[in-house]
Amino acid sequence: MWTVAVTIAVLSQKGGTGKTTLTRSLAEGMSRAGLRTLAIDADPQGNLSEYFGVPADAFPTLGEVLAGQQRAMDAIHGDVIPANLGLAEAELMLAGKIGRELTLRSALREPKRHYDICLIDCPPTLGLLTVNALVASDWAILSSEAEHFSEQGAEQAMEVIGLARENLNPDLDLLGVLLNIADMRTKHARATLRTLQDRFGDKVFETVIRRSIVYPESAQAATSIFEYRRRKAIDYARLTAEVLQRLNLVPQLARAQEMVGELEPKRQT
């Protein structure tokens, strides 16, 4: 393994694309594959923190870290750096700070020595918090829903990724584009996938996260889909394997593939 964690920003241009469920489930998949994984909630809504079952009054949070009041290591609660509405105030404070785009990258230097993977759940806007996440990251995963405005949002998000790479983080690259919470029985969802493939080529993940009521249920229960309804975790297991393959993590990939094999529906003979 590398000496510091590989960091992946998970983003979308709008809400409702399954981004937080993606981050939570991918963190679980990575952990089950044998990687020490840190999840970072960079969204003031704090949905990822709630999904992990972090208490609402947890302290410190990412807001205090970005405000320079607390160390990031002290803000880790069970492998999560949580967020709440105070993060929005921290973002406003950052706006007037010199080197504001580098704040998160600097804050994560110590935690990245203790983990293999860091996953950052970005807010559904392309503002300063998302820019901080991209500057702190090695890779970006773009979540896109099967609808026209999400396709437009993917283009806008790609522009922000390009600007971050060009001006602040030349090592940043797109790990992949994911079609998320899609009903592949519909013509529209299949057409959206083809559109993404035409635009992004092999950057589009082969895995599609299919729509299911079980995902919001697991979020409400603050329980990973791998534990809440194990068989329904198959799409995220496949995605975990695909991500590990793109990161060239061979031993962990083998474990993820075993996990996929265990979860795949057994064919009737």
Contact criterion met (CB below 8 Å) for 37 and 234: no
Q: Which domains does the chain have, with CATH numbers?
A: 6-213 (3.40.50.300)
Cβ-based neighbours of 80, under 8 Å, separated by 6 or more: 38, 39, 40, 41, 48, 49, 52, 54
| CA torsion angle 28 55 61 24 (round to 10) | 20
The two beta strands, 80-81 and 139-145, are unpaired
Token pair recorded at residue 10: 């998970």
Closest CA relative to residue 122, chosen from 143, 149, 95, 107: 143
Burial 160-198 (b: 16+ CB within 10 A, else e): bbeebbeebbeebebbbbbbbbbeeeeeebbebbebbee
Rounded Cα gap, residues 217 and 221, in angstroms: 6
pLDDT number for residue 170? 97
Closest CA relative to residue 166, chosen from 122, 109, 101, 97: 101
pLDDT number for residue 151? 67
- What residues of the chain score a pLDDT lower than 50? none
pTM of the model: 0.95
pLDDT number for residue 3? 75
Beta strands (DSSP E) in the chain are 6-11, 37-41, 80-81, 117-121, 139-145, 173-180
Rounded Cα gap, residues 172 and 140, in angstroms: 7
pLDDT number for residue 204? 96
Closest CA relative to residue 22, chosen from 229, 216, 258, 249: 216
pLDDT number for residue 1? 53
pLDDT number for residue 146? 75
